C-alpha cells in the first residue's frame, strides 16, 4: 500500500549556486496552468493507483512558497479533495526563510500543513552571499520564530557544511544559533558539486576554494557530537531530530517503500515500478492536457535491485538494516545475498552486526559511500 506522496513545485525567485534540482525562474512562468495540471495528475493517479490512506505528504521544490497565498490555497484545497489523508498525516511544505508571508503561513495552517522545512543552509551572512542565497541570518531567525508563534511546532531546517571558504568556527556559530531557536529537526548535508551549477563552473576554472576532506570530516564529527549533546538524535546519516520528530516522509525512502511523485521532474515508486515525469514545465503540462500521464521513463525494479536498494538505503538509518524485515520481504537472509560484502566491510571496520541488524560503525558513517558501493551489482 502506498502511504506517501511528494509534490513538486519547480518555481524559484532565485537560483542558488549549488542547486541542480528541477527548477525554473518564476517570472513569466505558467504557474496557474501548472497547478491545474498538477491537480489533474493527482486525480488520474489515484484513480489508476488507489490507496486507502496517505500517512505523509511533502511539497518540495524549487520553492513552494514562491506560489501566492491564493495559488497555495488552490493547490491545498485540491489535495484535501483528491487525496485520502490520514487523520495524523505528516504534512510538510518547504519554504525559503525570506520568502514566506504571514498570509501564506495562515493558508498552510488552515489546510493542515503541520511541518515546515526551511532552507537555511547557514546562519553566516558572508557564506550565504557566497552560495547565492538571498536571505540573511536575521531574516531566517525572524521567520523561524514567527512560524513558531503562528503555531508551527514541527520545524526542520536544512544546513550545509563543506561550503566554499567555510571554517570550523563558522559552523559552530551556525549550530549555536540553531540550538537557540524553536527547531525540532535538522537535516545537515555536505556540499556536493553537481554539473550544470554555478559552483561546478567555478570548480572547473579552479576558482572554488573548498575545505579539505579532513576539514569536512571534522565538520561532520562536530555536527554529530553537538546534535547528540543538545538532544537531537541522529536517526539517519544526515538527519537529527528531537524525540518524536523524525521525518516520517523521508523514512519512506530509507525503508525502500512505495511513494507517489507528482509534478514536473518528480519520481514515483509504485507497485514495483519506478516512474519519471517530464521535467520541462511546458512538456509536463502538454502531456497532462493531452490526457496522458506525464511519464517519460518507467523501470520495473527487479528483485535483485530491490535487495540492493534495501541495503544501501537502509544502512543510512542509525538502526541499520533489520535482518528479519529483509527476510520477510525477499525470502532470503542478508547473508544469503550479501555475505561477502558484509564480511569485507566488517573487516574494514565500517559495518557491525547485532542479533537484529546490520549497521554502520562510527567510521562507516564517515565512509558511507564506500560501504554502499560494495552492495551494488552483487545480488544477481
Domains within the chain, CATH numbers bracketed: 4-254 (3.80.30.20), 321-373 (no CATH)
- 117 strand-pairing partners: 94, 156
In degrees and rounded to multiples of 5, residue 367 shows phi and psi of -125, 40
Which of the residue ranges 15-19, 127-131, 187-191, 287-291 would you say has the lowest mean pLDDT?
Answer: 15-19
Residue 377 pLDDT more than 90? no
The DSSP output letter for 165 is T
Per-residue pLDDT band for 324 (boundaries 50, 70, 90) equals very high
pTM (2 decimals)? 0.94
8 A C-beta contact, residue 94 and residue 119: yes
CA 72, 77, 82, 85 torsion-angle sign: positive
Residue 231 pLDDT more than 90? yes
Per-residue pLDDT band for 379 (boundaries 50, 70, 90) equals low
Per-residue pLDDT tens over the stretch 91-141: 999 999 997 999 999 999 999 999 999 999 999 999 998 888 889 999 999
Whole-number pLDDT of residue 297: 97
8 A C-beta contact, residue 60 and residue 115: no
CA 58, 63, 69, 75 torsion-angle sign: negative
Whole-number pLDDT of residue 201: 67
Whole-number pLDDT of residue 380: 56
Residue 205 pLDDT more than 90? no
Per-residue pLDDT band for 357 (boundaries 50, 70, 90) equals very high
Amino acid at each position: 500500500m502506498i502511504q506517501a506522496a511528494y509534490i513538486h513545485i519547480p518555481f524559484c525567485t532565485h537560483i542558488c549556486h549549488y542547486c541542480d534540482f528541477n527548477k525554473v525562474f518564476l517570472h513569466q512562468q505558467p504557474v496557474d496552468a501548472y497547478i491545474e495540471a498538477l491537480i489533474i495528475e493527482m486525480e488520474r493517479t489515484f484513480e489508476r493507483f488507489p490507496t486507502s490512506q496517505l500517512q505523509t505528504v511533502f511539497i518540495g521544490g524549487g520553492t513552494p512558497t514562491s506560489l501566492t497565498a491564493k495559488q497555495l490555497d488552490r493547490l491545498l484545497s485540491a489535495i484535501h479533495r483528491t487525496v485520502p489523508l490520514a487523520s495524523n498525516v505528516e504534512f510538510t511544505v518547504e519554504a525559503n526563510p525570506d520568502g514566506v508571508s504571514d498570509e501564506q503561513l495562515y493558508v498552510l495552517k488552515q489546510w493542515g500543513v503541520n511541518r515546515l522545512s526551511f532552507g537555511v543552509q547557514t546562519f553566516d551572512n558572508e557564506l550565504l552571499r557566497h552560495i547565492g542565497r538571498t536571505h540573511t541570518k536575521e531574516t531566517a531567525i525572524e521567520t523561524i520564530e514567527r512560524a513558531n508563534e503562528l503555531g508551527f511546532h514541527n520545524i526542520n531546517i536544512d544546513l550545509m557544511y563543506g561550503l566554499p571558504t567555510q571554517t570550523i568556527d563558522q559552523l559552530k556559530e551556525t549550530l549555536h544559533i540553531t540550538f537557540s531557536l524553536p527547531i525540532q529537526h535538522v537535516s545537515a548535508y555536505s556540499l556536493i558539486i553537481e554539473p550544470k551549477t554555478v559552483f561546478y563552473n567555478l570548480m572547473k576554472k579552479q576558482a572554488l576554494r573548498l575545505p579539505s576532506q579532513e576539514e569536512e570530516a571534522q565538520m561532520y564529527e562536530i555536527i554529530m557530537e553537538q546534535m547528540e549533546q543538545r538532544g537531537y538524535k541522529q536517526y539517519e546519516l544526515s538527519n537529527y531530530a528531537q524525540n518524536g520528530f523524525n521525518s516520517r516522509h523521508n523514512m519512506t525512502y530509507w525503508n525502500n517503500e512505495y511513494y507517489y511523485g507528482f509534478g514536473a521532474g518528480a519520481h514515483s515508486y509504485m507497485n514495483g515500478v519506478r516512474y519519471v515525469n517530464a521535467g520541462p514545465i511546458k512538456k509536463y503540462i502538454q502531456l497532462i492536457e493531452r490526457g496522458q500521464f506525464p511519464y517519460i521513463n518507467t523501470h520495473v525494479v527487479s528483485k535483485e535491485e530491490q535487495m540492493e536498494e534495501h541495503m544501501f538505503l537502509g544502512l543510512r538509518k542509525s538502526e541499520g538494516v533489520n535482518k528479519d524485515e529483509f527476510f520477510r520481504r525477499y525470502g532470503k537472509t542478508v547473508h544469503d545475498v550479501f555475505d561477502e560484502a558484509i564480511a569485507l566491510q566488517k573487516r574494514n571496520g565500517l559495518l557491525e552486526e547485532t542479533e537484529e541488524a546490520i549497521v554502520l560503525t562510527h567510521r562507516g558513517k564517515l565512509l558511507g559511500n564506500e560501504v554502499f558501493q560494495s552492495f551494488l551489482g552483487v545480488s544477481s
